[in-house]
Each structure stands twice: as C-alpha cells, then as structure tokens.
Structure 1
Amino acid sequence: MAEELFLKDSYIKEFEAVVTKVEGTEVFLDRTAFYPGGGGLENDVGWLEVEGREIEVTKVTRKGNEIAHIVSRELARGQRVVGRVDWSRRYRMMRLHTLSHIIAALAYRKFNALITGGHITPEYAKDDFNVEDKGTLEDLMREAETIAKEGRKVKVYFLPREEAAKIEGVVKLAERMPPEVDLWRIVEIEGVDVQADGGPHVSNTAEIGNVKVMRVENKGKGRKRVYYTVEP
C-alpha cells in the first residue's frame, strides 16, 4: 500500500517516490500525492519526472488497496520519480469540494436532507438532495457563499471508528457509509460541519471565493439537483 500523502496535506504539489510495481501503463508508487478519485470527486492528473524526462499521468485510480497511476509510457520497478500534481485543476476541485460540504451541512441542519448523488469536476459541481422545493437549494447556495466568505478554518484529523460514528451527521451521503476501517478521516469546517471524508480540501473557506449557481433542476419527487461553480 502506498503512503497516501493527500490524506494529511491537501497542498502537496510535488513529491519524491519509488516505483514499486508496473503493470503495463499502470504504475504503483511507495507514496503519492495524487488523489485517486472517490465520493463523486474526480481523480488528479499530472506528471512524473524520471531521469529528466517528464511523463504525463493521464488518470489515477484506486485498485483494491493500491493506487494506480496511468502513464503515457512504461516505467520500471525501482525507478525514482518526482510526482507533480496538476495544481490548478486540483485546487479548483478543492474549493468546490469544501463548498459542497458547506451546502450539505446546511441542507442537513435545516431540512434533515442528505446528498443522494453528486459529482465534482474542475469546471463545476453538481449535487442532488432529497428536498421538495427548487427554491430551497437556491437559498442554501446564497447562505453557503456567505458562510464561505467568513473565512472559517477547515481542519482534517482522524478518529477511531466507534468515536466518529457517534457524531451526528458525520455521514451526509444517503445510503453510504465510510469503509470498514479502524480510523475515519474527519473534515471539520469550523462552526459549520463535521463529516467523514477522504478527499482534498482547502484550509480556509475564504479560499472558495465567489460562488455562481448555474442552474437548479427538478429530478423528480423529493429530488432536486443544483449545478454550481466558483470564479477563477
């Protein structure tokens, strides 16, 4: 298993590692800052520098307990590499991801609503909630932007499963629980939200910036979808 650097520090852009296994164009490292995607958040891309050559990482995915880096040319086991995350892409997703937690916290607190689906790309995010009124989500988005601009600190820490599970609302995805692991990774937005989550986030909500609601759709009874983005 690779050391997953992104779990403790979302701001690592560059790192050194050793190739532990190669399966065709799938490269496995002893440590990585590339996020493999999950929970609706897209994976990172970037580059590996090997002996002065820069090789593109076109996709990163989780395979069981391992993380595979899909590269544009084959490497060899034992090679030392320098990994570089496509930071502009990652950082926009971090901003959107933290914003999505604020929105989810408001929906849960005000309407006991859960996220029933969602996806975050570098360009925009979309979330589905089990609410009845489209206006509900429009109001939540305005409130979420106000909270973001207050500059709330975002903390990441780990708690034993039994302790974390006692926190009300620690899971806000409908019909989904964190994996069966002894330690849960917790993302806390000061005064707003405490949630189990494995993805990268900004360290302060002020980094989110200006929020733009693209549209709100009716996806059926008790299911509304909001599309939103953040300004560059």
Structure 2
Amino acid sequence: MPTPSPEALLHSPAAERNQEAILDVLQRVLPATGAALEIASGTGQHVCHFAAALPGWVWQPSDPDPAALASTAARVAHAGLGNVRVPLRLDVTAVPWPVGEVDAIYCANLLHIAPWAACEALMAGAARHLSARGVLMTYGPYFVDGEPAAPGNLSFDADLRARNTAWGVRRLRDVVAQAGRAGLALRERVSMPANNLVLVFARAAPVIGLDPHRPH
C-alpha cells in the first residue's frame, strides 16, 4: 500500500475518538449490505473506519473542499479499501447531487458549522436519493427542549456564532421539523459521548424512545 504524503492527510482527533461509538450504531441500524453516501467526509477517517468494518457496504465519500477530497482519497488508497468509491465533490446545497439512489446517507458535524440552508438541503437531498428503506443518519451536538444544555455545548455554540452568525448548535425540534417537511421522520435518537447525538431518519413512521442509552 502506498504511504500517503503527510501534506495530503488531514486529521481530526475528535473523529478518531468518536468513530467507534458511531460504528456501533451503524452496525445495529444498517442491514448487512447496501450503498452509502457520506456527506462532508472531511478528513476521510470515518469513511475508512466504517468501510473496513462493514465490508458488505459500498461507500461514496463526498465533500466540497478539494483538500478534504485529497485527504480522503489518500486514506482510502493507503487502507486498500475496495468498497470505497473515488471521493466526489459535492456541495450539499447544490441541486442536483451527482449521485444516484443509496440505502444510507451519513453526515457528521455539518449542521452546526453551516448556514441553516445546509440542513434544508440535506433533508431535501436525502428525500430525493434514499431508497424506500433507506436511512439518513446525522451526528453532532443538538439542543433538546426540556433537557438542560451541556455547558460544553453552550460554549461551543457561542464560539460558533462568534465565528459566523449563521452557524450554531441546532435545536433538535427544528431539525426534526425540517426533516418532516422533506417527508422524513425521526426513527431513533441515540445519545453519544461528549454530549452528541446520532439521529436516524427514515421514510417510515417515527418510532421514538429507542435510545438504548436513555432510561425508559
């Protein structure tokens, strides 16, 4: 396997920390085989980790940033993964997306570092491209009505809004409502380390309360 050049590789310590916990959810929610689109692949760490652990799935990484695409391509080549396609330049707000039908869409840490239009576009795009039994899975921090906000999420939100007034930690109810306008329903909410959530959306009727990390 070729050794990737250091200048080509981007690295996220957070991605390395959370990838195993997210993989646990993917392995439980996804069937044995399918085709997945990753939105905002970033460093490429997640798609490589997931593709290696889920060999029955073909993964399509994507990102609008050429540096991220180069990093992902270098990681995939170094890992020798045959079930990961060439990274695709994709801006979630552009229509149409240059992809066909997929069985899963995975998107981590995008909604809070992008304008709200990115959430609208993600939901609309998922509704266009998911198969009948497909799922959209998002990962990141959210504010949940009726639950105290974690101090870390409050400070993170303040930092984001100071950097760009269009950014910020999103409210769960707003994201769920936007999904509903696109014809998607929240099927599951899973609590993750460091005050993050995985949200699972599907075309089917919602089934709330399946979070194994929350008391019933």
Shared topology, TM-score over 0.5? no
Give the TM-score normalised by the residue count of structure 1: 0.25
Q: Which has the higher contact order (CA 8 A, sep 6+)?
A: 1
Q: Which protein is richer in helix relative to its size?
A: 2
User: Looking at CA atoms only, which structure, 1 or 2, has the larger radius of gyration?
Assistant: 1
